[in-house]
Amino acid sequence: MRAKLISLQVGLPRTVTRDGQEVTTGIYKMPIEKRIQLHWLNLEGDKQADLSVHGGQDKTVYVYPSEHYLFWKKELSNSDLPWGAFGENFTTAGLLEDTVCLGDRFTIGTAEAVVTQPRIPCFKLNLKFNNDIMAKRFLASRRTGFYLRVLREGEVGPGDEVVLTHHDENGVSISDALRIYLHDPDASELIHRALRVEYLSAAWREEFRQQI
């Protein structure tokens, strides 16, 4: 699997007004061109607004495939979608939901990270796109991207290769995990395999256990 980090985004929480209410969000990310440190809980210069649902060791980095941008440009009739438009830290090439598995480990620059879960969008994606059903459309597309947990801190930058160092033996792809989450009746066997993944996020482990 040959993959690459084509763009790197960070951002600090900001407060925006929607329907007369103030909302603090970290979804607004801006590309940076320099190399930065990837720490255990954050990229240098990046923070999440609501740590009860964002961030933490299981969701330190959000990864989104660049391949999906063409789809969204057509869906949204928007030719101006810059990298980072979906709030991702890493925009990648060569890492798709059908092939990336829970528990897969990658080196990026001098850091190492492991895949923990897909992304489930919240209302802040609606806010970002000024579209009340954007989060629903995003999930329905199954083009969600995924989160990484940091196993080794290090330096990362645009253009770095993303090298697979360990493919999880349970073989539960991000697409498979979404099937379980969405209660696909044919995904019952996948649940047991997913629960054997060492680095499955704590929240998704509990979600899957409740489905057994």
Closest CA to 120 of 89, 81, 147: 147
Please answer whether residues 175 and 81 qualify as being in contact, where contact means their C-beta atoms are separated by less than 8 angstroms.
no
- The C-alpha atoms of residue 181 and residue 176 are separated, in whole angstroms, by 9
32, two tokens: 């940076």
Number of domains in the chain: 1
Query: Which stretches of the chain drop beneath a pLDDT of 50?
Result: none
Q: What is the DSSP string of 118-149?
A: E----HHHHHHHT-TTHHHHHHHHT---EEEE
- The C-alpha atoms of residue 46 and residue 12 are separated, in whole angstroms, by 5
How many Cβ atoms sit within 10 Å of the Cβ of residue 128? 18
The letter for the amino acid at 189 is: E
**In this predicted structure, what is the pLDDT of residue 1?**
62
Coil, helix or strand at residue 207: helix
What residues make up the domain containing 97? 2-211
Residue 112: give its domain's CATH number. 2.40.33.20
**In this predicted structure, what is the pLDDT of residue 54?**
74
How many Cβ atoms sit within 10 Å of the Cβ of residue 6? 18
How many Cβ atoms sit within 10 Å of the Cβ of residue 192? 12
Please answer whether residues 109 and 38 qualify as being in contact, where contact means their C-beta atoms are separated by less than 8 angstroms.
yes
pTM of the complete model? 0.95
The single residue listed with the structure tokens 């897909």 is: 118
